[in-house]
A = this chain, B = another copy of it.
Amino acid sequence: MVKVGDEVSNKQVIFRDYVIGSPKESDMYLTTGTIKLKVPEGSNEVLVKNLYLSCDPTMQFDMRKAMGPSRNLYYTPGSPICGYGVAKVLDSGHPELKAGDLVWGITGWEEYSLITKTTDTLIKIQHTDVPLSYYTGILGMPGMTAYAGFYEVGTPKKGEYVFVSAASGAVGQLIGQFAKLEGCYVVGSAGSKEKVDLLKNKLGFDEAFNYKEEHDLNAALKRYFPEGIDVYFEHVGGKMLDAVLLNMRHHGRIAVCGMISQYNLDEPEGIKNLLHIGFKWIQMKGYTHRNYYHLYPKFLDLVLPYIREKKMVYVEDIVEGLESGPAALVGLFSGRNFGKQVVVVARE
C-alpha cells in the first residue's frame, strides 16, 4: 500500500510526436518513470491514482498539431497521453478535494498523475452505488454529450422519428435510450451484426442495421423511415449524412456530435444534398458537452434513477492494463470497440 510522500514507480503511455492523419499504436509507447506522491507545498494541485481511462474519438485531434482553441487537451511529445478518466485523490492542495475522494475529469495515461490544471477539469464523484467506470461514460463526458445533444440540440418529441449513427458507441447508445424513454421511434446504424443485435435486443432500439451491408444507404433509410426522419444524431458524416439529408422531414433537426468516418481521410467526402437544408427548413447544429456543464446536476437527477431502476443500460468494452491502452484507442477509429471503450489501470 503506497502512502503520501512515497516515491514510486509510474507506468506511463507516452505520446511520441504529433501525427498526420490516423493515429497508430506506434505513435505511443510505454515507459516507467517515478513520481513522488505529494503535491508541491502551497499549490492547489491534486495527486491522483488513476483507476479507469476513457478512449474518446476526439483524442485523435489532440494528437495532431494546432487544432485550435476548440480542443481542451494539449499534448506534448514525450509526455503521457491525457484524456478523461476516473481517479482517486491521494494528496490534494485543492480546497474542495481531499485524500480518498473519487474524481472524474482530465487526467494522464499513467498509474499516478499530478494534476496541475484542476479548475473545471475535475469533478468530485458523489454517487458510488453505480460502477465507477460509468464516470468515463454514461455519467461522464459521453453521458453529458448525449444528454445535451438529445435535450438541448436535437430535441425529439414523443412520436417523432429518430435516427442515430454509430448507435452502439459511447454516445449513440445513450441517445437511443433517451429516445425510447421519451416515446420516439428510433433506429440505429452500426458496423457489425453483433452491434446491430445489441441495439435491438439489449438497448431497445426499434430497428437497427449494419451500414456495411447496405450498398444503398438511401434505400436503407427509406425502408426504416417511410415517412422520413425528424431528428438525426450525427456521429459519422460522409455518405450516411448525404443519404440522411435526402430523407429528412420538414423542420427536421440534425445534431452534429462528430463525423468519425471523415477525420482520417486525406480529403473529406463532398456532401451533395445540402440543398435539402433550404428546401425542408432543416436545422443542423454542432455541439459539445463543454457548453452544457451547468446542466450536469440536472443530468444526474435524470440518469442516476434510470440506472438504478435499470431503465437505462450501458455497454462498456473494458480492457485491462495501461499496456492495452494504445490498441484500444486506435481501435476506436476502425470500430473495433463494442460499446464504450475503457482502459482499467487499477480497480481501487
Contact = CB atoms under 8 A, between A and B. Distances in A.
B250 A277 contact: no
A241 B285 CA distance: 16
Contacts of A69: 250
A269 interface: yes
A256 to B, nearest CB: 5
A9 to B, nearest CB: 39
Copies in the complex: 2
A257 interface: yes
A222 to B, nearest CB: 15
Contacts of A268: 272-275
Interface in A259-312: 259, 262-263, 267-288, 291
Contacts of A278: 234, 256-259, 286
A237 interface: yes
Contacts of A128: none
A95 to B, nearest CB: 31
A234 B277 CA distance: 11
Nearest to A281: B286
Contacts of A241: 274
A26 interface: no
A126 interface: no
Contacts of A288: 281
Given A272-B270, A275-B237, A275-B268, A287 B281 contact: yes
A334 interface: no
A283 B283 CA distance: 7
A43 interface: no
A119 interface: no
> At the interface, is chain A mostly helix, strand, loop or mixed?
loop
Residue among A256, A263, A288 having the largest count of chain B Cβ atoms under 10 Å? A256
Given A283-B283, A284-B283, A285-B283, A267 B272 contact: yes
Most buried by B among A234, A262, A269, A272: A272
Given A70-B279, A250-B70, A291-B281, A259 B274 contact: yes
Contacts of A68: 279
B291 A286 contact: no
Contact of A284 (B250, B269, B279, B285): B285
A280 B286 contact: yes
A102 to B, nearest CB: 31
Contacts of A287: 281
Contacts of A257: 278
User: Which among A259, A275, A286 has the highest number of chain B CB atoms within 10 Å?
Assistant: A286
A286 B275 CA distance: 9
A274 B285 CA distance: 11
Contact of A285 (B271, B272, B277): B277
A259 to B, nearest CB: 6
13 contacts: A70-B280, A234-B278, A237-B274, A259-B274, A268-B272, A268-B274, A277-B285, A281-B285, A281-B287, A281-B288, A281-B291, A284-B284, A285-B285
The 4 closest A-B pairs by CB, nearest first: A270-B270, A277-B286, A278-B286, A283-B285
